[in-house]
Amino acid sequence: MIKALHQTLARTPWLLFLGLSFVVSSVGNGITYIVIFSELIRLSVPATSLALAYVLSTVPGFIGSKIGERYCRNNNPFQLLIWGECLGMLGLAAPFGAVMAGSVPLFFVAQTVSAFTIGMSFPAMSKIFKAGLSEQELPVATSLETLIFACNVILGVGLGLLLLGRIGVTSLLFIDLLSFAAALLLLRSAKSHFSKTFTPVFSTTVSLRWKTLSGTQRRGILLLPLLAFAGAPAMALLPGLVPATLSGEEAHSMALALLFARSLGQLVGPLILNPDKFEKRSNSNMLMIACLCAFIACYGLVPFSPSIFLALALVFTAHIFSNVVFALAIYTILKQFDEHLVCAAMAKSYRLQMVITALVSIGAGYSAQYFGVVTALYLFSGTGSVLILMLTLGGHWLKQRSVMLQADQK
């Protein structure tokens, strides 16, 4: 995948500038992410608040995706990305205020703004990729999209972990501010190069109707929500999975290191896929089930890990598996929907994912207070995995049944 990604970026200037803009922006976002969670952990907020922080870092994207979907129907999606960066820059006022006042609610506001802008960008990026790339280049676009949203790990979260404690948190937030400014300049360059070659197709009349979708299209939309069923509880409870043998500053550092390992796995996941086999892999239900089972198994072992390094390796491995599913889900949507419907399909899948993320994450957070983090993890992620298995096998049975009935009628 790395070779294919390099070749595509070399011959597609607008894609290079677009990718760089999100990489630069992600550096700042990753640093702010570390600032927010380190401050919440330092303030000793309960597991419920940590779960709520995770929910607010994703769920407001529900509204953002609605706005993004409607805007992209008859406007240039690049302009929406530019506005999103501007809004993100303004949203930095919340973490600045939160750090100065020690306000937990303001940290939640910062998470909300970030999630909202990410939700806006999903439909816009799918529209850009569908309009500007060939069918053979879609696997590269899929991997680039997942890399863009996970690269805040190495350059953002990693840098944040290295600098945290060495420079003030307000200085870290100023780095995020500069990253937004640089991202805006790169986005304008990407928009200019894209406009010289392509004219995006706008449509105000075509809408997504569930009844008219094929089984493959419905499956593509449901893959991300199904991933959230199993993955969201584990990710929401991650800071609380620090081994019980650790305490104080050691536990604080371990929680942040777990967040880093999570994002690193998200970064690596798409890179292990062969772009020539995306079509085959994206149609494999067994691959998805196997990856999700591996994800849950790795997370379930983290609290019992006798070694800090083993715990980090387990979280890293878990998210390699989860982001294989994520990459294939994005590819399926880009592949199965034309340029008129791809924004609506991506937005619908994203919104369903956010709803499920909110419900299971909040439920897992409250359960952790009464039954413990480990029990809550097994209860919610395990139930999600069983539900995915039932839905997958049920869908396969119905498909086989339909084929048999058609054969009997003939």
Q: Mind giving me the DSSP string for 340-375?
A: TTHHHHHHHHHHHHHHHHHHHHHHHHHHHHHH-HHH
Q: CA of 254: how far to CAs of 53, 232, 384, in Å? A: 18, 20, 27
pTM of the model: 0.71
Tell me the longest C-alpha to C-alpha distance in the chain.
74
Tell me how far apart the alpha carbons of residues 280 and 246 are, in angstroms, rounded to a whole number: 44
Q: Is 76 helix (H, G, I), strand (E, B) or coil?
A: coil
Q: Given this model, what pLDDT does residue 149 score?
A: 62
Number of residues in the chain:
410
The CATH homologous superfamily to which domain 2-196+214-409 belongs is MFS general substrate transporter like domains (1.20.1250.20)
Find, among 292, 302, 287, 299, the residue nearest to 230 by Cα.
292
Residue 277 has which token pair? 């086999």
**CA distance to 78, 223, 323, 347, 389, per residue, from 288 (Å):** 32, 9, 10, 21, 10
Which pLDDT score, from 0 to 100, does residue 398 have?
A: 46
**Domain boundaries of the chain, sorted by first residue:** 2-196+214-409
The strand pairing partners of 164, in sequence order, are: 167
133 neighbors 81 (Cβ within 8 angstroms): no
CA 406 to chain centre: 40
Q: From CA 187, how far away is CA 16, in angstroms rounded?
A: 10
Query: Is residue 116 within 8 Å of residue 94, measured between CB atoms?
Result: no
Local structure of 11: helix, strand or coil: helix
pLDDT at res. 403: 46
Distance CA 277, CA 273 (A): 8
CB 14 within 8 A of CB 190: yes
User: For the CA atoms of the chain, what is the radius of gyration?
Assistant: 21
Contact of 296 with 383, CB cutoff 8 Å: no
pLDDT at 395: 53
Token pair of 152 as six digits: 């805040």
Q: What is residue 145's predicted lDDT score, i.e. its pLDDT?
A: 67
The residues near 289 (Cβ < 8 Å, ≥ 6 apart) are 388, 389, 392
pLDDT at residue 248, rounded to an integer? 59
Distance CA(294)–CA(234), nearest Å, equals 13
Residue 58, CA atoms < 13 Å, CB-side half-sphere? 26
Residue 182: predicted pLDDT: 92
HSE value, Cβ hemisphere, 13 Å, CA-based, for 220: 24
Q: Where are the beta strands (DSSP E) in 162-217?
A: none
Question: What proportion of the chain, given as a percentage, has pLDDT over 70?
Answer: 82
Ranges of residues in the chain whose predicted pLDDT is under 70: 1-2, 4-5, 47-48, 50-51, 54, 143, 145-154, 196-207, 239-252, 255-256, 275, 391-410
- The pLDDT value recorded for residue 206 is 56
